[in-house]
């Protein structure tokens, strides 16, 4: 499985993702954003970092990169695309995912481990994992997912919430929400289910040496689901 990992100015998780993908049998290749051509690849990753120094707001300048048009084209054709942390912010800025990421409610940068409940089955990054409670690290200052009431209602009704912050038992409590994200939402999908974004870093928990392997399970879902035909967005 050939996976393109995009590199922007200020990206720093591309090598970590490439390593994690190699652990699950994928063939990663790091592509410079300005030259990105996703034809011939099976999936794409938009990794974390501080693209363009997060000037204006996180992901805003990267969203006008030449890679933005290529990501839109690939997403429309059904390519699996995952954005983590800054990558999630970029995908929201591009318009491939609903909502937006803003400053954490407490205005603090948070670097910690969090628990997540996987709520949607039919995505390339959560196939076979619905209902699982996983543990992943976060590192962000603008990870608070927000949306207007109509968008939030549509996202919930369509089953577009893929990851939700919870405690270790799977309860979505205020205390388990590290950034004040609306409805404890940590990650969402587009309606078709092929584009997914999340604030935690699955690439940082792909080996026991790193403190956990739950992120590896997300990437294993990608390699295992490459032949699955995605269901309509309203079907879990």
Catalytic residue numbers? 85, 201, 203
Instruction: Judge contact between 205 and 213, C-beta under 8 A.
Output: yes
The single residue listed with the structure tokens 């399970």 is 217
Residue 129 exposure: Cα atoms within 13 Å on the Cβ side = 25
d(CA 71, CA 148): 25
Euclidean distance between the first and final Cα of the chain, in Å?
Answer: 25
For the chain, where are the E strands, in sequence order?
2-7, 27-32, 43-46, 81-84, 100-102, 110-118, 133-140, 144-146, 161-166, 185-189, 195-198
Taking the C-alpha atoms of residue 188 and residue 153, their distance in angstroms, rounded to an integer, is 13
Please give the torsion angle defined by the CA atoms of residues 95, 156, 161 and 227, in that order, rounded to the nearest 10 degrees.
-80
């Amino acid at each position: 499985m050939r996976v393109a990992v995009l590199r922007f100015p200020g990206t720093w998780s591309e090598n970590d993702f490439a390593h994690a993908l190699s652990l699950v049998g994928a063939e990663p290749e790091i592509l410079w954003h300005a030259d990105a051509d996703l034809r011939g690849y099976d999936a794409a990753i938009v990794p974390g970092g501080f693209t363009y120094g997060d000037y204006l707001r996180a992901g805003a300048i990267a969203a006008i990169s030449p890679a933005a048009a290529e990501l839109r084209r690939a997403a429309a054709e059904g390519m699996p695309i995952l954005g983590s942390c800054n990558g999630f912010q970029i995908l929201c800025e591009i318009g491939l995912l609903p909502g937006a990421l803003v400053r954490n409610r407490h205005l603090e940068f948070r670097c910690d481990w969090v628990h997540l409940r996987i709520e949607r089955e039919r995505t390339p990054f959560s196939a076979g994992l619905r209902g699982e409670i996983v543990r992943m690290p976060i590192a962000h200052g603008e990870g608070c997912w927000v949306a207007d009431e109509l968008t939030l209602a549509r996202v919930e009704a369509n089953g577009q919430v893929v990851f939700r912050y919870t405690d270790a038992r799977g309860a979505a409590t205020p205390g388990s929400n590290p950034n004040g994200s609306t409805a404890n939402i940590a990650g969402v999908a587009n309606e078709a289910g092929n584009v997914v974004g999340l604030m935690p870093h699955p690439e940082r928990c792909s080996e026991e040496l790193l403190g956990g392997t739950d992120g590896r399970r997300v990437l294993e879902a990608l390699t295992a689901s490459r032949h699955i035909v995605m269901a309509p967005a309203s079907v879990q």
